[in-house]
Amino acid sequence: MTDHSADRTYTITELSREYSVTPRAIRFYEDKGLLSPGRNGQQRVYAPRDRARLRLIVQGKRVGFSLLEIGEMLDLYDLGDRRETQLRHTREKFQRQIVDLEQQREDLEAALIELKKGIKFVDHRLASLAKDSEVDQGVNVVGYGIGPASNAAE
């Protein structure tokens, strides 16, 4: 069993393994001010607070938050209001992210429908070419849709 007591410290290697991030990513988060390890000589020493912050950073990145947004949420932890401000702000951010992701899902679904229509069109044209052995005038790819080429010479 892993000891997660307040006195426990972690190395960069331990944290990178636990959260499946590279040591370079952890150092990057330090450079951005999201983590503040102590030092034992040249070695970084991470406290349970850093470990918890890294967990939140990884989770935040997974659901699409920027490091700036994650930092805003983390920075509200120490206001002395029993985390009420942080929790309210985080809830608001989560709700906005849900709306954004749902819109992205709708956009992706619409794009997939158009691409599938395009494949059907192209397959039909290819079948016609094979059947008739005729040379086609071409096809224009416009946006997500596909349509017959316009004849500029006409």
pLDDT category at 134 given cuts 50, 70, 90 is very low
Does residue 92 form part of some domain?
A: no
Does residue 154 form part of some domain?
A: no
pLDDT category at 6 given cuts 50, 70, 90 is confident
For residue 154, the model assigns a pLDDT of 47
Does residue 17 form part of some domain?
A: yes
What is the C-alpha separation between 97 and 99, in angstroms, rounded? 5
What is the pTM (predicted TM-score) of this model? 0.73
How many whole angstroms from its chain centre is CA 96? 15
Which ranges constitute the DSSP H helices of the chain?
Answer: 12-19, 23-31, 48-62, 67-75, 84-132
Claim to verify: residue 74 and residue 111 sit in the same structural domain: no
For residue 149, the model assigns a pLDDT of 56
* More confident: 147 or 76: 76
CATH number of the domain bearing residue 65: 1.10.1660.10
Domain that holds residue 112: 107-148
Q: What is the mean pLDDT of residues 31-46?
A: 95
What is the C-alpha separation between 97 and 60, in angstroms, rounded? 11
Helix axes 23-31, 48-62, angle to 10 degrees: 100
* More confident: 148 or 96: 96
Claim to verify: residue 119 and residue 67 sit in the same structural domain: no
**Mean pLDDT across the chain, nearest whole number?**
88
